[in-house]
Structure 1
Amino acid sequence: MRILVDSGSDLTLQEIEQHNLDFLPMSVAIGDKSYKDQLEIDNQTVYEAIQQGRRPMTSQVSIDQLTELFTEIAGKGEQAIYYAFSSALSGTYQSAVMVKEQVTERFPDFDIEIIDSRSASRGLGMQILDIVSLRDQGMTKDEIVTQIHEMHEAIVHLFTVEDLAYLAKGGRLSKSQAVLGSLINIKPLLTVEEGQLVPVGKYRGRKKVFKEMAAQLKKDGHGAVINISHSNDETGARQLADLIAQECGGTIHIHELGPTIASHTGQGTIAMYYFKEGHS
């Protein structure tokens, strides 16, 4: 069974290859040049553009990419699951549904499940790696789809950014929401609800917002694995990881946001993802 992932998952090319996944890259444009995420552009190029005052712009997975991959899978008579980047943050999910309908006209038995993850970054990536595990255990597509819906209810996204106005300019947050972080040294805490970015609090200084993230982790209970992501701020990521290790325990993995996600958050983002207690 084929498992499809896009840039919204922040899985690395190494992970994609290791787990035998099909990758649908989004595009990042800087000036008049467009690059396929991870394949033709890396994080450092995105950071350098931001530092120079040039805003990288992103595009959803193209219709041509979707059509080519879907047609190949359908032509081979294979099953597939595509757990797509949140439809509230990208048009990729809607495009995939449209292309599925077109390909099904040619291949009526085309068997692909396209699911709106309502998730982003490693919050999506963690779920995909769980889907891989279920596939490797020999579960059927229908059994995995049932597990996916349960999995989605257990995932938590928490993150803080240096500049909410940067998110607002990219259209991923309203201007009124961005006012939350406009005061000096006020650090916002955001989450993902129904696929959308939602501010949930503001704290004076990074230490306090990190303390709140740890408190939320304790309150929810959590699984054995916690993922922390950052955009050009490994020091901050390690500070949060040290705090979580002291106060909550668990296995902590640190990753860097991919080019697409970093283009929207800007530099200095620190994010944490985990499953609530009870998720297996």
Structure 2
Amino acid sequence: MSFKIVYDSCCDLPVEFYSDPRFQSVPLSLEVGDYHIMDDETFDQAQFLKHVAESEECPKSACPSPDSFMQAFKSDADHVYCVTLSSKLSGSYNSALIGKDLYEEEYGEKDIAIVDSLSASCGLGLVALKIMEYEEQGLPFDEIVEKVSAFRDDMTTFFVLDNLETLRKNGRLSGMKALVAATLSIKPVCEGVEGNIVQRGQGVGIRKALVKMVDLIEKESHDTEERTLAVSHCNNYERAMLVKDMILARKKFKDAIVVDTRGVSSMYANDGGIIVTY
């Protein structure tokens, strides 16, 4: 059976999949003051980060329209899957659900599954790649949906950001403990829990915070030999490789990938941010 995987543009994948015809991105729009762009193949990370650094206004994103998702669902593929940014962080998931309804009203019923990743960045990527793996194994559509939901629920996402301004300005830190005074050198270690952001620790300086994150991963991860480790970075490949190597020195994973953030993930992670999902 043929398949298609649609994802919103918060999904960060290895670069070869961006040109894979079985995958299609539905872009969010990004705004920094008067600067407006779509998070598509025209996205320029360096230029975007420059605008973010120079603007006093908080960068914003807007989820794709239901019609954008409906258009992406048009396909000769037998099975269509759509993976979205956590519904706790964006309206993308609800927009995709409406897009499915619009598609079926116009074209009739089709095997379309809308998957709330409860994650972001490489978390969406791992869900998309898991769907591909199950499809290539020839599993039935309903079984794939069930197994992907279980995979999503057992997935863990940690992150350490060098710059918290975007999350602070747009209220995404509401689930975290208050940061100690205004000591900018303190970097919190955060985890995505059921789609929300919580603080799990902190370190003085980015290096110590990353080590704290790796300590948590070593202590709390399980069955890693059967898992893929994914590390996303915003404009700092060397830091991402350092984190990957630190983790693999302590735990064995089936595979490990390092990806750069696209527009939405770059907006939240900001320059130098690191996201780890497994």
Could you state the TM-score of these two structures normalised by the residue count of structure 2?
A: 0.87
The offset of 1:159, in angstroms, is: 0.7
The Cα of 1:165 is off from its aligned counterpart by 3.6
Paired residues for 1:6-21 under 5 Å: 6-11=8-13, 14-18=16-20, 20-21=22-23
The answer to whether 1:238 aligns with 2:241 is yes
Aligned to 1:259: 263
The alpha-carbon distance between structure 1 residues 169 and 77, as it changes in their structure 2 partners (threshold 3 A), is same
Residue type of the partner of 1:217?
I
1:41 paired residue number: 43
Q: Does the 8 Å contact 1:122/1:273 carry over to 2?
A: yes
Higher helix share: 1
Contact 1:80 1:111 in 2 (8 A): yes
- Cα 1:142/1:211, change in 2 over 3 Å: same
Q: Deviations over 1:12-52 (max 9, x none)?
A: 56313236212211122344343221322121122221232
What is the aligned partner in structure 2 of residue 120 from structure 1? Answer: 120
Find the counterpart in structure 2 of residue 247 from structure 1. 250
The answer to whether the 8 Å contact 2:201/2:212 transfers is no
Q: d(CA) in 1 for partners of 2:50 and 2:96?
A: 32
Between the aligned partners of 1:33 and 1:207, the Cα distance in structure 2 is 33
Deviation at 1:211, TM superposition (A): 2.3
Unaligned runs of 5+ in 1: 275-280
Q: Give, as a single letter, the amino acid of the residue that structure 2 aligns with 1:68.
A: Q
Indicate conservation of the 8 Å contact 2:30/2:39, yes or no.
Answer: yes
Please tell me whether the aligned partners of residues 175 and 196 of structure 2 are also in contact (alpha carbons under 8 angstroms): no
Q: What is the CA-CA distance between 1:107 and the residue it aligns to?
A: 3.0
Indicate which of 32, 50, 60 corresponds to 1:57.
60
| RMSD (Å), alpha carbons | 2.4
Quote the Cα distance in structure 1 between the aligned partners of 2:181 and 2:62.
Answer: 27
- Partner in structure 2 of residue 166 of structure 1: 166
Match of 2:194 in 1: 194
1:179–1:166 distance in 2 versus 1, CA, 3 Å? farther
Larger deviation, residues 81-90 vs 250-259: 250-259
Letter in 2 for 1:262: S
What is the aligned length?
271
Q: Note closer, same or farther for the CA distance 1:42–1:190 as it changes in structure 2 (3 Å cut).
A: same
How many Å apart are 1:123 and its aligned residue? Answer: 1.4
- How many angstroms apart in 1 are the aligned matches of 2:136 and 2:211? 37
User: In the TM superposition, what is the alpha-carbon distance from 1:77 to its structure 2 partner?
Assistant: 7.8
The 5 Å alignment of 1:1-280 reads 1-11=3-13, 14-18=16-20, 20-53=22-55, 55-70=58-73, 72-73=74-75, 76=76, 78-174=78-174, 177=177, 179=179, 182-219=182-219, 220-221=221-222, 222-223=224-225, 224-250=227-253, 251-274=255-278
Worse-superposed segment, 111-120 or 28-37: 28-37
Identity of aligned residues (%): 27
Mapped to 2, the partners of 1:31 and 1:184 lie a distance apart of: 25
**Distance of 2:50 and 2:61 partners within structure 1:** 16
Q: Is the 8 A contact 1:85 1:118 kept in 2?
A: yes
Instruction: Letter of the 1:129 partner, please give it.
Output: L
Determine helix, strand or coil for the equivalent of 1:109: coil
Q: 1:174 to 1:151 in 2, by over 3 A?
A: same
Q: Is contact 1:77–1:109 with CA below 8 Å preserved after alignment? A: no
CA distance in 2, matches of 1:138, 1:146: 14
Alpha-carbon separation, structure 2, partners of 1:210 and 1:225: 19
Cα offset, 1:82, TM superposition:
1.1
Structure 1 contact 181–188 (Cα < 8 Å) conserved: no
CA contact (8 A) 2:14 2:257 kept: no
| Displacement over 6 Å in runs of 4+ | none
1:278 corresponding residue in structure 2: none
What amino acid does structure 2 have at the position aligned with 1:82? C
With structure 1 as the length reference, what TM-score do the two structures score?
0.86
Distance 2:65 2:14 in 1: 20
Gaps of 5+ in 2: none
